[in-house]
Amino acid sequence: MDSTDIKFNPAMLSDRKKLILKAVVREYTATALPVGSAAIVKNYLPDVSSATVRNELASLEGLGLICQPHTSAGRIPTADGYRLFIDFLAEKRRLEAAEMIEIQNAMQQPITRFDSILRDVSAVLSELAGSASVALSPRISRFRIKSIRLVRLDSFNLVLIVFSEGDNVKHSHIKLEFPADEALVGAISTALSREFTNIRMEEISEEGFIRIMSAFRDSPELVGKILKLIIRAARDSADIGVTVSGTEHIFDFPNFLNIAGAKEFYRLLSDGAALRSIIAPHLKSGVSVILDSESGDGRLSGLSVFACRYLADNSGILAIISPMRCDYEKILAVMDYAARHLSRLVGRDSGKQMIIRRGGVMTTIL
Amino acid sequence: MDSTDIKFNPAMLSDRKKLILKAVVREYTATALPVGSAAIVKNYLPDVSSATVRNELASLEGLGLICQPHTSAGRIPTADGYRLFIDFLAEKRRLEAAEMIEIQNAMQQPITRFDSILRDVSAVLSELAGSASVALSPRISRFRIKSIRLVRLDSFNLVLIVFSEGDNVKHSHIKLEFPADEALVGAISTALSREFTNIRMEEISEEGFIRIMSAFRDSPELVGKILKLIIRAARDSADIGVTVSGTEHIFDFPNFLNIAGAKEFYRLLSDGAALRSIIAPHLKSGVSVILDSESGDGRLSGLSVFACRYLADNSGILAIISPMRCDYEKILAVMDYAARHLSRLVGRDSGKQMIIRRGGVMTTIL
DNA sequence: AATTAGCACTCGGGGATTGAGAGTGCTAAC
DNA sequence: GTTAGCACTCTCAATCCCCGAGTGCTAATT
């Protein structure tokens, strides 16, 4: 879905038609009522008569940009109408200072956990947009491991810690059925570190483990069992993380006056894999908007998805899902601001370096 | 709300009245329709006439145990009616083998994380009960610390790991603005371990930190900053955990045909502190049922809360929230089974010992 | 005294009817 | 190209009406 299949471009429309389409979108998103010719004359085009506007409206309807919910009602924008509005007519809006601060606050946390920043940003976005918001965490399996440690808590309990790019820390608790002593655990930890540092999680192979095994010929059984648990732990933490916020807003979506649809949509929201595969093909640079059935997935009909990438090549996605009737200019501004600052927060400069700027202080890690 | 304020006891009712009340509850929970005299005669009391049943129904209504949604409709149970049913008339039901297995599976996980068991149990409960389910995690700040470690990932990144009773592992990532070397981190880790092992998290005091500080007189500033971050990390992880499952079922609750109520209830579900303070006063041993307005909180009107404790003195709570019209015998059975097995899983035998039985293997951990 | 048959009565839900109001499209004039 | 005027259409809400379910009461029966 690239820019070649744009159905409409603004050259097709007279300035007055553009103004009227804009008026229909703005008025409808504000009032939730079909927009009649009289309202447009009153608020946007006081110098012409309603009959003129009616003629223009009929013409816009002929182009498929607006429609009537029923004969003798006002007009509402179609998906194509919204599309044209978003691509060519929407004006860039500035956020309120308070809103900007709220977004920034979500990103400034003393203890660095990318998860937690993501959760907070997502929560703020959903609040500002009055919509549901989803953050799909990057595939951590694609992150390079910066550091891996096996720590002994007591004879029967170990913790595997994986520290990866993006300041991600994961721990997995490993419970043994047999005691392991400090020296052995330390040796395994060192071996793991030697073998897997600077490797992507998805590149961890059996061979690496076999190499480690061979270094522990004196207690192969014990080490073998530990490694088996470690493999499982690593796999376990490789799944896709989905952070959903603002689910309560869907109760306000006019789409879900019928409970059945709400339930289905609610299910979709917690299915990270599905969301990713729906959204990913439509992503371009900056904020993408996927309207109604443009996604090809019926569960999103009547809805708009605002999405953008963060951490460019690791497929983390931030998204806001709204009813199709929403304040596009506002939500675009919110998303744009958040995406811009999130990228600034975690800017990738080279393959191995990662610059973190935080509250004025700038630190270069590893 | 203890046993002294029981309004009704079964001695007040003739056997036939009891049978009819039971019939009304069972029939209504099954069909969702007000129960008429004819239905009762047909399915429960074929030997008397509908007129007789009508007389009995009128009498039960006089006692406030059942009511009519409107004149000339059948009867439905009142909250008092359900209460009497639950306390005296409900029969202990056995779960299906498949259901028992499902619950047990949720508890058997290779990698021990109590959180995760809780989440899975809660998910299974909500599924079996067709309801929302909430697990309030125990106040981990009341758990004794079995082991505490500070691990160095690289010069600027540390991880604090706290391993506590109940096999809880928590990690907190600590990002430094200055480098710390291996030796120093190791020394702090040892000091933390010496100072805080076998202490409850809530008992961690400034004094302990001051004692540690004094041991590091040569680099007080660095250690001070690290300790400050550690305090924050420990506080951070002390908040109340709420795991909500099966939220999608609330879309099926007849209570929430009006979207407004659904939204409010949805909010309540994610407010762990509120839920705890509503539920806690009503807990007795075993499974407690809080009906309708018995909780004193309007947000639960029309709903039933099934709740039980696990880990007796650490205030972990497992709850199922259903519409008041639900299959009490089934949900009671589900809860009872889950609670019984959860207690068996984590049985506390003495102050410092904790017995974990898991898949036949039994391990005793420090 | 408890039970029962019979019957009039009440009420909610669903479907049809109606009137008001909003907004259109068309035509003819400007 | 624009506008005034007007007939037309359609929704929404209110109203009415009828049907059926289920009751409560009364009088007769056991």
What would the pLDDT profile of B109-151 be if each residue is shown by its tens digit?
A: 655 556 778 888 999 999 999 999 999 877 777 778 899 999 9
Element (H, E) at A310: strand A303-310
Higher-pLDDT residue of B153, B262 = B153
The pLDDT assigned to B354 comes to 40
Is residue A122 within 8 A of residue A116, CB to CB? The reply is: no
Average pLDDT in chain B: 84
Higher-pLDDT residue of B43, B228 = B43
The pLDDT assigned to A366 comes to 25
* Chain D, protein-covered positions (CB within 7 A): 2-5, 8-11, 20-26
Residues of chain A with pLDDT under 70: 1-6, 109-114, 233-240, 258, 311-315, 346-366
How many residues are given for chain A? 366
Task: Give contacts of A112 with chain B, Cβ < 8 Å.
Answer: 173, 175
Is residue B260 within 8 A of residue B38, CB to CB? The reply is: no
- Residue A167: count of CB within 10 angstroms of its CB: 21
Is residue A121 within 8 A of residue A246, CB to CB? The reply is: no
| Residue listed under structure tokens 């509005």 | A85
Higher-pLDDT residue of B216, A157 = A157
Distance CA B365, CA B112 (A): 13
- Interface A-B: count of C-beta contacts within 8 A: 122
Helix residue ranges per DSSP H, chain A: 15-31, 37-43, 50-62, 79-84, 97-107, 114-129, 182-196, 206-215, 220-236, 259-269, 272-279, 328-345
Residue A74, nucleotide of least CA–C1' distance? C23
Å between CA of A46 and C1' of D15: 41
Task: Give contacts of B162 with chain A, Cβ < 8 Å.
Answer: none
Average pLDDT over residues B296-317: 83
Among A111, A86, A31, A27, residue whose Cα is nearest residue B231: A111
| pTM metric for this prediction | 0.80
Distance CA A163, CA A122 (A): 23
Task: State whether A157 and B171 contact (CB < 8 Å).
Answer: no
Name the β-bridge partners of B133. Answer: B245, B320
- Among candidates A154, A163, A263 on the partner chain, residue whose Cβ is nearest the Cβ of B157: A163
Higher-pLDDT residue of A315, B347 = A315
Among A111, A120, A242, A12, residue whose Cα is nearest residue B232: A111
Element (H, E) at A154: strand A145-154
Distance CA B23, CA B74 (A): 12
- Using DSSP's 3-state secondary structure scheme, residue A363 falls into strand
Of chain B, the percentage scoring pLDDT greater than 70 comes to 86
The pLDDT assigned to B311 comes to 64
Name the β-bridge partners of B323. Answer: B303
Burial of A264 (0-12, 13-18, 19+ CB in 10 A): middle
B51 touches strand C (CB under 7 A): yes
Among B132, B135, B164, B147, residue whose Cα is nearest residue B279: B135
Is residue B170 within 8 A of residue B161, CB to CB? The reply is: yes
B257 touches strand C (CB under 7 A): no
Give the sign of the dihedral formed by CA A198, CA A200, CA A204, CA A205.
Answer: negative
Is residue B134 within 8 A of residue B122, CB to CB? The reply is: yes
The pLDDT assigned to B58 comes to 96
Distance CA A17, CA B3 (A): 74
The pLDDT assigned to A354 comes to 40
Average pLDDT over residues B47-51: 94
The pLDDT assigned to A108 comes to 79
Distance CA A348, CA B172 (A): 24
D8 nearest neighbour residue (CA to C1')? A72
Please give, chain by chain, protein residues whose CB is below 7 Å from any atom of strand D: A 47-49, 51-52, 55, 70-73; B 33-34, 36-39, 50-51, 54, 57-58, 61, 68, 72-75
Task: Give contacts of B173 with chain A, Cβ < 8 Å.
Answer: 111-113, 167, 169
* Chain C, protein-covered positions (CB within 7 A): 3-6, 9-12, 21-27
B349 has pLDDT over 60: no
Residue pLDDT, tens place only, B58-96: 999 999 999 999 988 999 999 999 999 999 999 999 999
Helix residue ranges per DSSP H, A44-181: 50-62, 79-84, 97-107, 114-129
Mutate to test the interface with A, among B144, B253, B259, B364 (most CBs of A within 10 A): B259
B52 has pLDDT over 70: yes
Chain A residues in contact with chain B using a Cβ-Cβ cutoff of 8 Å: 110-113, 146-147, 149, 151, 153-157, 159, 161, 163, 167, 169, 171-175, 177, 229, 232-233, 236, 247-248, 251-252, 256-257, 259-260, 262-263, 266-267, 361, 363, 365-366
B318 has pLDDT over 80: yes
Task: State whether B163 and A157 contact (CB < 8 Å).
Answer: yes
- Using DSSP's 3-state secondary structure scheme, residue B341 falls into helix
B188 has pLDDT over 50: yes
Average pLDDT over residues B269-283: 88
Among B345, B136, B161, B21, residue whose Cα is nearest residue A154: B161
Residue B33, nucleotide of least CA–C1' distance? D21
Is residue A270 within 8 A of residue A222, CB to CB? The reply is: no
Average pLDDT over residues B348-364: 36
B4 has pLDDT over 70: no
Least reliable range by pLDDT among A93-97, B171-175, B259-263 = B259-263
Question: What value, to the nearest 5°, has the Cα angle with vertex B238 and ends B236 and A243?
Answer: 65
A272-279 helix and A259-269 helix, angle to the nearest 10 degrees = 90
Å between CA of B292 and C1' of D19: 35
